[in-house]
Each structure stands twice: as C-alpha cells, then as structure tokens.
C-alpha cells in the first residue's frame, strides 16, 4: 500500500494543494499528517478544508495546540503573531477540528504497525528529533515494543532512517521547509517493504507570500523563498 505522508503545513494551503496533487498522481491510498496544520501563514481554513478532503490520520502539533490556547508559551515573536492571527481567522469548525486532534496515534496500516507523533514518542507535542538522534537507544527508550514504522515531524527537515526492524520517517515540511530547498517537502511510504521516499513539489510561493504579507510580518513570507 502507498501512503502519502505530510507534516508542518502551517496554513500554507497553496503548498498543500500542490503536494496533494502530486500524491494523487502517485496513486496513494491513505494519508498521514504529523501535525502543525496551522500557524505562520495566512490560509488556515482553506488548509483544514483541503486536509478533510483526503481524511488523513493526523496528530496534534505544537502550533495546533498553540492556536487553541489563549496564552501559548514557548513561541518566538513571529510564531506568536501568526498564532494570534490564525486564532482570530479560524472558523468554529476549524477550531473544533484542531482541538480534537490526538497527540499520538498507533495503529495498523497496510499490514504494518505505525506510530505517529509531531515531536517524539515521549514528548509528542514539542520535542525535536533529528536524524542523528535516531538509534537503537532512541527506540528502546521510546517504546517497550517498537513499531515497524515511526512517523515524526516538527523539525521541518526530511529524513528516512532504518534502525533494526523499524523505519523512522520525517517527511519534512509542506508549508515552511528549513532544509535550504524552497519546494514543499513530503513523502511516500510503501508498507510492503516497508520503505519511504522523500519527494518535493514546486508551488506558487508568490501567491502565499503576497497574501501572508497583507496580514503578518514580511519575514515569514520572505523565508519561503530560501527554504530556511
């Protein structure tokens, strides 16, 4: 089974639409989203609507949690500005969608046991797990019985790493890449092996950047052109 894997969309509906088109062309059968649907950019309601169309298995990210909290902590100035604006812009239906997101999911997909979190298994909302952190020790610390596939987000940097019998996958960021590549990042997971491939999609950065600058700091828009 082919599964489309997304993370860190951050209200960038323009990038999400391009990624979903690529995944449709790839004939994926299911979707996973590792959180941070909203924050940073200016189309939160459209982003949620697009996600609902593909009905992914989806967990809560720190920005999803922050936008549903009146006084979010641990965010820098630009993140707080965007959370405040997203909170005002979101419909009641959108807020309900975000509040219902679970912190983790562990389930079977395509005959494989899959664990999904935004941050880490032990701190699913806010801990950063980078590629160099993935090891046998990490899996032993995180799980009594490691699943066959672990999907994480939060770092905005993609990686695929196999440790023993466990495949650990971070698809990178759809909406705000930080790997010096401005293209939207996502992944296709094949459950048969299992294996995963990081993919990239060009999208109209000007469209979301110009729209964002109408409401939010220019710095948020400008970083999209450099992927950092």
Cis peptide before 194 (omega within 30 of 0): yes
Cβ neighbours of residue 21 under 8 Å, at least 6 residues apart?
201
Give the residue carrying structure tokens 């924050």. Answer: 39
Instruction: Give the pLDDT of residue 72.
Output: 63
Q: How many domains does the chain have?
A: 1
CATH code of the domain covering residue 46: 3.60.21.10
Q: Per-residue DSSP letters for 76-92?
A: -HHHHHHHHHHHHHS-H
Other beta carbons within 10 Å of 21: 12
For residue 79, what are the CA distances in angstroms to 25, 66, 88, 92, 172? Answer: 33, 9, 14, 21, 18
pLDDT 10s digit of each residue in the chain, 228 long? Answer: 999 999 999 999 999 999 999 999 999 999 999 999 999 999 999 999 999 999 999 999 999 999 998 666 689 999 999 999 999 999 999 999 999 999 999 999 999 999 999 999 999 999 999 999 999 999 999 999 999 999 999 999 999 999 999 999 999 999 999 999 999 999 999 999 999 999 999 999 999 999 999 999 999 999 999 998
Instruction: Give the pLDDT of residue 73.
Output: 66
Instruction: Give the pLDDT of residue 74.
Output: 81
Instruction: Give the pLDDT of residue 69.
Output: 84
CA-based nearest residue to 156, from 51, 34, 69: 34
Q: What residue numbers bound the domain in which 33 lies?
A: 2-225
């Amino acid at each position: 089974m082919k599964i489309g894997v997304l993370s860190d969309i951050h209200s960038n509906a323009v990038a999400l639409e391009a990624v979903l088109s690529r995944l449709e062309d790839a004939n994926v059968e299911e979707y996973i989203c590792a959180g941070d649907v909203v924050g940073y950019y200016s189309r939160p309601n459209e982003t949620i609507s697009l996600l609902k169309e593909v009905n992914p298995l989806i967990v809560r990210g720190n920005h999803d949690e922050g936008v549903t909290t009146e006084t979010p902590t641990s965010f820098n100035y630009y993140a707080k500005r965007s959370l405040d604006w997203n909170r005002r812009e979101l419909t009641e239906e959108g807020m309900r969608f975000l509040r219902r997101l679970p912190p983790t999911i562990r389930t079977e997909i395509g005959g494989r046991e899959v664990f999904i979190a935004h941050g880490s298994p032990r701190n699913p909302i806010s801990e950063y797990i980078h590629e160099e952190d993935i090891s046998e020790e990490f899996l032993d610390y995180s799980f009594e019985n490691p699943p066959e596939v672990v999907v994480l987000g939060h770092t905005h940097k993609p990686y695929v790493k196999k440790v023993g019998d466990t495949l650990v996958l971070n698809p990178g960021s759809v909406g705000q890449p930080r790997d010096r590549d401005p293209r939207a990042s996502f992944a296709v997971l094949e459950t048969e092996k299992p294996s995963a491939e990081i993919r990239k999609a060009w999208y109209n950065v000007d469209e979301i950047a110009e729209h964002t600058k109408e409401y939010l700091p220019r710095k948020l828009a400008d970083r999209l052109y450099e992927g950092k």
